[in-house]
């Protein structure tokens, strides 16, 4: 009985330590898109139809932890404007920088790859600019 009681804190410490290591390995990238005036909704619809299903497959496989999308409620000045932001948390840096991460899923999801390519070309024609920001959490206080 004493051995079990003594092993419990060790087990809890091990679980907490493994969880902390896993969180340190995760890698977050924010993708910002600035679209031609009046085309933001079309761009978002195309992204949701053509790119998001590929990211969902990567979530199912475990290479991506989460995908969140946002758009601003109010407009800003042209120099600071963005129309769509996607935050992707990858399981690690290897997954984040794998150029073929979603390639295997294209044939599974899209029977007509020519249509996908055409739709994706149109989506990028709507773009004015796109930039990625790699982020990391900052611990505030005793969090």
Domains, the chain: 26-133 (3.30.70.100)
The reported pLDDT for the residue numbered 142 is: 79
Residue 4 in this model has a pLDDT that exceeds 90: no
Alpha-carbon 77 to chain mean position: 26
**3 state DSSP class of 84:** strand
The reported pLDDT for the residue numbered 38 is: 95
Instruction: Give the tens place of pLDDT for each residue, 36-94.
Output: 999 999 999 999 999 999 999 999 999 999 999 999 999 888 889 999 999 999 999 99
- Is residue 134 a contact partner of residue 28, using CB atoms and an 8 Å limit? yes
Residue 143's pLDDT band (cuts 50, 70, 90): low
Residue 111 in this model has a pLDDT that exceeds 90: yes
Count of residues making up the chain:
143
């Amino acid at each position: 009985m004493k051995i079990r009681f003594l092993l419990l804190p060790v087990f809890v410490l091990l679980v907490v330590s493994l969880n902390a290591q896993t969180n340190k390995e995760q890698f977050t990238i924010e993708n910002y898109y600035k679209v031609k005036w009046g085309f933001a909704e079309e761009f978002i619809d195309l992204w949701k139809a053509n790119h998001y299903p590929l990211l969902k497959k990567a979530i199912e496989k475990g290479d991506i932890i989460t995908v969140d999308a946002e758009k601003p409620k109010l407009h800003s000045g042209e120099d600071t404007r963005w129309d769509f932001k996607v935050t992707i948390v990858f399981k690690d840096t290897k997954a984040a920088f794998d150029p073929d991460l979603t390639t295997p899923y294209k044939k599974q999801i899209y029977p007509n790859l020519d249509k996908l390519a055409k739709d994706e070309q149109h989506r990028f024609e709507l773009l004015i600019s796109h930039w990625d920001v790699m982020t990391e959490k900052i611990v505030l206080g005793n969090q």
